[in-house]
Amino acid sequence: MLRVSEIRLLLADDQALVRGALAALLELEPDIVVVSQVGRGDEVVDAARESRADVCLLDIEMPGMTGIEAAAELRRDVPGARSLIVTTFGRPGYLRRAVDAGASGFVVKDTPASQLADAVRRVHAGLRVIDPTLATESLTAGDSPLTERETDVLRAALDGATVAAIAREVHLSPGTVRNYLSSAMGKTGTDTRAQAAQVARERGWL
């Protein structure tokens, strides 16, 4: 039976071993109990609602939906559950997008267990927890220069899709897609759409 002081935690990570390790470490804490584990981003909201989670630890890159997208859905559909992004990908652009999506915290996976547990407690208490190195890098890097449409076409170009395939996916004409790709290449300082997509991804803009 849960004590009133315990924090109900949901873990979302597509790697079962990582999920299990996080659960084992965090359940060593006297005030944290893992009430749900999921491996897909699009399972987060239902699981959070069913388990009555207080805090949701979300990986960024998951099938179905990213952790950032899941954080936005949690804010809208389960406002009582706070989200904490815990990821391998410490990219400044991800941090800005996570905060914009409503995440209460953003830390990297190599954070020591004791610090991660403290981050969970702080988020549960209504505070914001941001990895200090990422916060500095984010301020230095600035916002993404890409427009929403440029972001859409670059995301579609990540897997090497043709202009025609990108046009079908984003519901634009091939000529318009080429214009957006050209603009995005200029903003990323690259020569090809594949390079532009990769640079944007590495900076956390996609």
**What percent of the residues of the chain are helix, what percent strand, and what percent coil, each to the nearest 5?**
50, 15, 35
**Cα angle vertex 12, ends 9, 14, to 5°?**
155
Coil/strand/helix, residue 7 = strand
Q: State residue 130's pLDDT score.
A: 86
Instruction: Please state whether beta strands 82-87 and 55-58 pair in parallel, antiparallel, or not at all (unpaired).
Output: parallel
C-beta of residue 141 within 8 angstroms of C-beta of residue 203:
yes
pTM reported for the whole predicted model: 0.67
* Chain centre distance of CA 152: 17
User: Residue 54's pLDDT is what?
Assistant: 97
Least confident of 10-14, 123-127, 179-183: 179-183
The CATH number of the domain holding residue 102 is 3.40.50.2300
Does 16 map to a domain? yes
Q: What is the pLDDT of residues 125-163, one digit of tens each?
A: 999 998 877 666 655 555 678 888 998 999 899 888 899
Q: Structural domain tally of the chain?
A: 2
Residue-wise pLDDT for 75-131, tens only, equals 999 999 999 998 876 676 778 788 889 999 998 888 888 899 999 999 999 999 988
Token pair 């318009």 is found at: 176
What band does 1 get if pLDDT is binned at 50, 70 and 90?
Answer: very low
In a domain, 85, yes or no: yes
Kindly state whether residues 153 and 115 are assigned to the same domain: no
Domain of 152, CATH number, reads 1.10.10.10
Could you give the CA distance from residue 167 to residue 157 in angstroms, rounded to a whole number?
A: 10
Determine phi and psi for 87, rounding to 5 degrees: -140, 155
Question: Which distant-in-sequence residues (6+ apart) come within 8 Å of 171 by Cβ?
Answer: none
DSSP string, 133-187: HHHHHHHHH-S----HHHHHHHHHHTT---HHHHHHHHT--HHHHHHHHHHHHHH
Using one digit for the tens of pLDDT, what is the confidence trace for 26-80?
A: 999 999 999 999 999 999 999 999 999 999 999 998 999 999 999 999 999 999 9
What domain range is 165 assigned to? 148-202
- Summarize pLDDT for 158-180 with one digit per residue, the tens: 888 899 999 999 999 999 999 89
